[in-house]
Structure 1
Amino acid sequence: MSKAAKKTLEEAIQSGNPELDLQDKQIMSLEELPGLLSLENITRLTLTHNRLTMVPPAIANLVNLEILNLFNNIIEELPTSISSLNKLRILNVGMNRLDALPRGFGSFPVLEVLDITYNNISEGDSLPGNFFMLESLRALYMGDNDFEVLSPEIRNFKNLQILCLRDNDLVTLPREVGELTRLRELHLQGNRLEVLPPEIGHLDLLGNRSCLRLDGNPWVPMIEDQLLLGPSHVMDMLRNESYKFVYQRHITTGSKPPPKNYDAKNRKISRKRDNA
């Protein structure tokens, strides 16, 4: 631990400052910071760009924590106790080495923003059973992981406004995404998608503050042609009966998904090596 980290912590303890910024302080373990995990007054803790390999269960002692930023460390696992942070609104664990989220992770009662980008998380056993109970979520960033499918339980995120799934291995998208009526941003670029559920055509993704990203997928010609004209043309097409027929035929024939894009994977691997 650097002297700067020690000084910053000492000043926070003395002043009672509820916001503690320890980014880029060469921290390898929170045990190096005596007293940190006893600061019950802390509401914001920033530990970005360090060398943390794990988060101790005692993180649960920070009972008033609202914002926890662990971006760009080398964390391989999160403790189950982290979900007992009942006041946590924003959690950023992007650019780490996570391949799963801990049991009970969906217990955060007021979590609004979750960022798990640049990890190795996938569907299946990687997500705990109650993950889709995070009904307070407004923004979910899951880009640069290893998702091939997404659970239909995504429908439970009724308050979701931003869903980022870019640069995964998605081969299909559940129809239930179309039930996220508050969604204003949908990022799907850099996957293996060939078709989109027609239900997405009814979402409000074309307003001034909206965003729909579809590039970098091996779309069927019908989508590819409309995408050349712009996202609005794709949205119009999704509501077309002709497209609904094409979509249904595509999913019922069980066509083999396109192979993984080697170049895209190489880019993802190189980014992860940057924080090794």
Structure 2
Amino acid sequence: MSKVRKIIDEAKESKNPELDLVDKGISSFDEIPSILTMFNLTRITLTHNRISVVTPALANLTNLEILNLFNNQVEELPTSLSSMPKLRILNLGMNKLSALPRGFGAFPVLEVLDLTYNNLNENSLPGNFFMIETLRALYLGDNDFESIPSEIGHLKNLQILVLRDNDIVELPKEIGELARLRELHIQGNRLSVLPPELGNLDLTSNKSVIRMENNPWVAPIADQLQVGISHVVDYLRSETYKFVHGRHAVTQAPNRVSEKRDRSVSVA
């Protein structure tokens, strides 16, 4: 750890607000206690280490704007993280999170939250998760979501939403309330239909991105997708599709009830 100490000491001496500790074999904050007194830090990069526990004392770094813990072994987070007054970017991708702490949605200025490649699902999220009104980008790809809570409609400033490679079977109509959304990744799920309200969004301009391949779409959507994304969005806005979607919802309702019943029996 002598190299790590040297990097930290040099940062202290030069009063460098950015600390880079990528791939240094760090397994605990106990190995780097001195960074918890570096109150001038605005960015900490700890990617590609072996950290399993994030210390609550990290929240004392009140000037921190960027915290990158991508590719560690974090299983649990302290509630105190969400009280950090200046934290704008939090990257927790490729860890071992199966739940988020109560109150996690209290971040005052968070703009980018990356939770890609974890073990999260709709039951992992605390009640206030979708109250992070400042959020511009939310990455939930490569997790275990089967559904997305309707409260996602509260994220009025969201511009990028990544839900790829989960087990999502339907999207809530409230996604249509995300007026600023310009990038939507829903590929690699179990979606067969989309809420007509998705047609409310501007997802076909030159600056927009929508990815939806590798889903078991109903034939009309699959046919439109062959022609192009813009044709899919136009189709979602049509009266014909509203009828198709309504009929699909009615026919699928009994299947969902039986699936829930089967799950409850297997759990018992």
Instruction: Report the Cα offset of residue 251 of structure 1.
Output: 1.2
With normalisation by structure 2, the TM-score equals 0.93
Q: Distance in 1 between matches of 2:101 and 2:46?
A: 20
Q: Which residue of 2 aligns with 1:201?
A: 199
Q: Which residue of 1 aligns with 2:14?
A: 15
Instruction: Report the Cα offset of residue 3 of structure 1.
Output: 2.6
Q: Distance in 2 between matches of 1:150 and 1:240?
A: 24
Q: Which residue of 1 aligns with 2:261?
A: none
Q: Which residue of 2 aligns with 1:39?
A: 38
Q: Which residue of 2 aligns with 1:264?
A: none
Q: Which residue of 2 aligns with 1:144?
A: 142
> Which secondary structure state, in structure 1, belongs to the residue aligned with residue 105 of structure 2?
helix
Superposed CA offset, 1:96-137 (max 9, x none): 00001111111101000000000000002x101111110000
Q: Which residue of 1 aligns with 2:165?
A: 167
Q: Which residue of 1 aligns with 2:111?
A: 112
Q: Which residue of 2 aligns with 1:24?
A: 23
> Which secondary structure state, in structure 2, belongs to the residue aligned with residue 98 of structure 1?
coil
Higher relative contact order (CA 8 A, sep 6+): 1
Q: Distance in 1 between matches of 2:91 and 2:137?
A: 11
Q: Which residue of 2 aligns with 1:236?
A: 234
Superposed CA offset, 1:21-45 (max 9, x none): 1111110111101311111111100
* 2:179 aligned to which of 178, 181, 185: 181
> Which secondary structure state, in structure 1, belongs to the residue aligned with residue 67 of structure 2?
strand
2:266 corresponds to 1:247: no
Q: Distance in 2 between matches of 1:79 and 1:88?
A: 15
Q: Distance in 1 between matches of 2:219 and 2:243?
A: 14
- Structure 1 range deviating more: 64-73 or 247-256: 247-256
What letter is aligned with 1:242?
T
Q: Distance in 2 between matches of 1:201 and 1:179?
A: 10
> Which secondary structure state, in structure 1, belongs to the residue aligned with residue 33 of structure 2?
coil
Q: Distance in 2 between matches of 1:152 and 1:34?
A: 41
Q: Which residue of 1 aligns with 2:98?
A: 99
Q: Distance in 1 between matches of 2:226 and 2:153?
A: 30
Identical amino acids, percent of aligned pairs: 65
Q: Distance in 2 between matches of 1:30 and 1:11?
A: 18
Q: Distance in 2 between matches of 1:204 and 1:170?
A: 22
User: 1:258-273 residue pairs with structure 2 within 5 A?
Assistant: none
Q: Which residue of 2 aligns with 1:90?
A: 89
Instruction: Report the Cα offset of residue 254 of structure 1.
Output: 2.4
Instruction: Report the Cα offset of residue 253 of structure 1.
Output: 2.2
Q: Distance in 2 between matches of 1:3 and 1:165?
A: 41
Superposed CA offset, 1:14-70 (max 9, x none): 111111011111101111013111111111000000010110111111111100000
The unaligned stretches of length 5 or more in structure 1 are: 258-276
What letter is aligned with 1:168?
N
Aligned residues: 255
Instruction: Report the Cα offset of residue 242 of structure 1.
Output: 0.9
Q: Which residue of 2 aligns with 1:190?
A: 188
Q: Which residue of 2 aligns with 1:129?
A: 127
Instruction: Report the Cα offset of residue 5 of structure 1.
Output: 1.4
Give the conservation status (yes or no) of the 8 Å contact 2:83–2:108.
no
Superposed CA offset, 1:64-100 (max 9, x none): 1100000000110001111111110000000000001
With normalisation by structure 1, the TM-score equals 0.91
